[in-house]
Every structure is written in C-alpha cells, then in structure tokens.
Amino acid sequence: MKPLLLIDIDGPLNPYAALARPTAPEGYTLHRMRPTGWKEGVALPVLLSTGHGQELRALARRYELVWATTWMDEANEWVGPRIGLPPLPYIDWPAVPVVPADGTYWKTRPVVDYADGRPFAWIDDEISGLDTAWVAAHHPGRALLRRIDPWVGLTRADFEALAGWVA
C-alpha cells in the first residue's frame, strides 16, 4: 500500500498571501471561484499552477493523493480540474473543528486519524513544530509534515523533498 500524500489547497496550491502583490507569481493563473459559502459578493480569487498538477500526478506513482483541505469534495470540482488532477478522496473534517489547547493545528488529530497508521506526507501552510512533535508521539507510521509558505506555494524543493521521502 502506498503512503498517503495529504494535500492542503490554500497555501500550498493557492499561495493566497501573494494575492497582495500587484501581479500573480510566475507560473500561476488567477481564477475566480464560488465554492459553497462564497455565493455573494466578489468571487474568491484563487491562484493555481498547472505545473503543480503535473508534479502531483508524477508523485501519484508512489503516493495515494488525498485532499486535506477545508474545500473537501469541492476541491474535485473547483481546483483539481484546473490543475489537471482526477477526482481524489478527501478528509471529511468535523463540522465544527476542535481547536486543541496544546497549540497544535486543528487538522493534526484528524489527519492522524485518517492515516490510521499508514505512512503519510502532509503539505499545509499552518503546520508547526508542535504538530510535528505531536504526530511523532501519536502516529505509529512514518510521517513527513512539510510547512508551505503561503506567499510562495509549493516549490521545486518541496516536490524534491516529497519524492525523496517516499523513495
């Protein structure tokens, strides 16, 4: 069984902080979207790179790709097709996220529960050292937690790290 690659959208695939700049980063295209909860007003601006889709499809030979995003199944409608990904399974987050008192990210425990002992790599812009330590103490399998800068999104170094970890 392949290790999981758990993919957040906002930060890794959509470097949303870069929207503060006057032009989109090189290789990104601005899309306007209306996922659930974004029905009124200006459409949600989302920066995406088809290059990320190519890189992720290459990693799919060694990983099982899974959305680990609050977009949940809507990632398959709004994001996946725009970067060339097929429909992917997704983590079904709790309706009301539980924010742990220990400072770990609210996604960390559900990610470990979803992995259910399987090795996994997780890319997200809100991962911290507390999350890495918590996973190391509570997950029996191998895990790579990689924080992605939301100003930059996924880079060549991130894809190389993911490929190297699974090798």
**Answer CATH for 4-166 from 3.30.420, 3.30.160, 3.40.50, 3.30.70:** 3.40.50
> pTM value?
0.96
Residues in the chain: 167
Do residues 44 and 14 touch, judged by C-beta distance below 8 A?
no
Q: How confident is the model at residue 37, as a pLDDT?
A: 78
Torsion of CA 125, 129, 130, 135, to 10 degrees: 90
Q: How confident is the model at residue 141, as a pLDDT?
A: 95
Domain spans of the chain, in order of start: 4-166
Q: In which band, very low, low, confident or very high, does the pLDDT at 23 lie, cut at 50, 70 and 90?
A: confident
Q: How confident is the model at residue 8, as a pLDDT?
A: 98
Mean pLDDT, to the nearest integer, of 105-113? Answer: 97
* Nearest Cα to Cα of residue 20 among 41, 40, 47: 47
DSSP-H helix ranges across 99-142: 108-115, 129-138
